[in-house]
Chains A and B, each alone.
Chain A
Amino acid sequence: MAMNKGSCSLLKSVIIKNELGLHARAAAKIANLAGRAKDKIWLIKDGEKVDASSIIDILSLGCSRGTEITFAADSKADFDLLRNIVIMAENGFGE
């Protein structure tokens, strides 16, 4: 479920609901979208922050099912993109 985290509107959290967790294909979908951002989009898990445009970086966090992850954008220009990523994640990456 998406929720706004306090003051910053460019921070969104999602619970991973895919059975296999945030796996390679899902990560590829995130990286593909994040790669189009004007500035950096980040993926944060337990305080660890990685570049969301790298599949490998995303995979290295090992987000299993039920993990809460947060997406953050550096630039307001990327807000729509961020929202799309979050919607995709909420929908289980179309699986």
Chain B
Amino acid sequence: MDLGNNFNMPDNETNEEIKLNGVGASPGICIGKAYLVDKEGVEVVEKYFISGKNLDGEIKRFKAAVKNAVNELRSIIENVPDEVRRHTGILETHIALLKDKMLYDKTIETIKKERVNAEWALKKVVDDIKVMFQNISDSYLKERSDDITHVSDRIIKFLIGSEDVNIGEIDKRVILVAKDLSPADASQIQLDKIMGFITDRGGKASHTSIIARTLEVPAVLGVGNATKTINNDDTIIIDGTTGVVIIHPSGQTLGEYKKLKTRHEEHKAYLSRGSHLKAETLDGLSLQIMGNIELPEEVVSVLDHGGDGIGLYRTEFQYLTRSDFPGEDELFDKYKDVVEVMGPRPVTIRTLDINGDKAISSSNGSEEANPALGLRAIRYCLKRPDIFRTQLRAILRAAAFGNVRILIPMISSLDEIRDTKKLLNEVADSLEKEGKAYNKNIEFGIMIEVPSAVIMADVMAQETDFFSIGTNDLIQYTLAIDRGNREVAHLYHPFHPAILRMIKHVTDVGKEKGIKVFMCGEMAGDPFNVPVLLGLGIDELSMNPQSIPAVKNMIRSLKVEDARHFIKEALKQTTTMDVIKLVEASFGEMFGK
């Protein structure tokens, strides 16, 4: 795409380049002008008094604003792009809220009684409503006051006549900068006009992030102070892969990123042309390349990027966004959604893996000094069989609708496998008695992510159908490194000789015992690691959907024979740096492309 000459020069010489960091919520690079969706202006509401004879006029003005707001929402619903069609249910509710007597009648009453302007009356009514919501203990329901805020913002926008919020009428391609985007805002966007998203709030699992990933435009979210730092029409670079936002880039930075962007786009186009081809090496070994997902919606992305199935379906999300525990039917529905869409392709459902930094809100009975080594994942589930049974039932029921595998996280001893299987059998029996549709003949696998499971792999293999190596935790536990700790993070590397030897041990055991060995950690998603993984003999790799095309491409350009010779040499290396150097020396020219 031609960006025009104005991008070659910095905006003006007094503007220093500013770099902001956030969460890289959707990968890619874009360079463009900022378009600020400024909601701050709406919050400043003026108060003035209305004389008796003008009260009727003021009420009419309020009614007209509500009517306009209703009309606007209706037309948003009608014109919603197909990509976000499923999110319109909430907009229907917003229309109902606009006319709700607590809001509508009360505001009119307040205008009359207090002889104030409509904006002020509405603000007062909404503030009162918000106070009522503050006492609600259920966090989901408490946040419904956000819906009321969105609705009243919409009315006030029409009362004041401000136009800057109307993101439906953007006439050039821009980078959208907002505090946060409501579902209504998001569905109002003319998607072809948006090059990228930056928001103050939100993270990887937020609504905006899902939309950005669906559209495949870069997004950096949770920046904190983007709306305060960025001005309309500022030149901005977004790198959604690394989570970096650069404002007023210097000529040099622009040049670098333009190159990066071009390379990224060319490469992406090249890869996506091949993404639906089999991941087969030049000498004919084919690997299954799977996607990791957290939300059912991401299934589409896995299929679009050429995934052969779901190698890791993380199930924590439904537990972390609420104050109580999700019920069986809700879980079943979510799992079934994924399973049905995938059809005959495998869906690997990992049971609840709550870890230290994702403490579950409804069960934080006591603080743990060392959560990574504490009551998490399978340990937690076996301690709370009531919660575990609910999930196991939902999984077995969903298994009746497709090809499900069950994956148990953080296994460190054989007892945990046996206890889990016992529960699974109990659950299957009770489903049988209740006459519910279920399938208990599903593959049972364990995560290999604790060093003891590696050492005991031969024993574990006798009672499991497959292994899935979770490299993130395996590296952390083996090297005793917390990646979140800046002082030691640089020591964390998947090519540490100890890690390579451990993986080698697991794949050897897999071959000997005749069970498949998969990998679903971050290590699996980097093309640079593919020669090593191929040499080690991993049967299936699972990764973020966006990584699938690049990894498939790398596999197609290698010979497994070469990789096997190479790994013998790699295993002889004694330091991480030596392994990296060997990979670069042997396969370096392939990464340059």
Contact = CB atoms under 8 A, between A and B. Distances in A.
Interface of A: 19-25, 28, 31-32, 51, 53-57, 59-66
Contact of B90 (A25, A55, A63): A25
Contacts of A32: 96
Nearest to A66: B324
Given A25-B90, A31-B96, A62 B136 contact: yes
Contacts of B140: 20-21, 23, 64
B93 A56 contact: no
A54 B101 CA distance: 6
A91 B295 CA distance: 26
B327 A65 contact: yes
Contacts of B138: 21, 62, 64
Interface string B323-336: 11011011000000
B387 to A, nearest CB: 15
Nearest to A61: B136
B144 A24 contact: yes
A55 B144 CA distance: 11
B141 A22 contact: yes
Interface string B57-97: 00000000000000000000000000000000110110011
Majority secondary structure, B binding face: helix
A59 B93 contact: no
A12 to B, nearest CB: 22
B142 interface: yes
A63 B147 CA distance: 16
A88 to B, nearest CB: 15
Contacts of B148: 56
B153 to A, nearest CB: 15
Contacts of B103: 56
Given A55-B93, A56-B148, A61-B136, 7 more contacts: A23-B141, A25-B92, A32-B96, A59-B145, A60-B133, A64-B137, A64-B138
A64 B558 CA distance: 55
Contacts of A21: 138, 140-141
B129 interface: yes
A74 to B, nearest CB: 16
Contacts of A59: 133, 141, 144-145
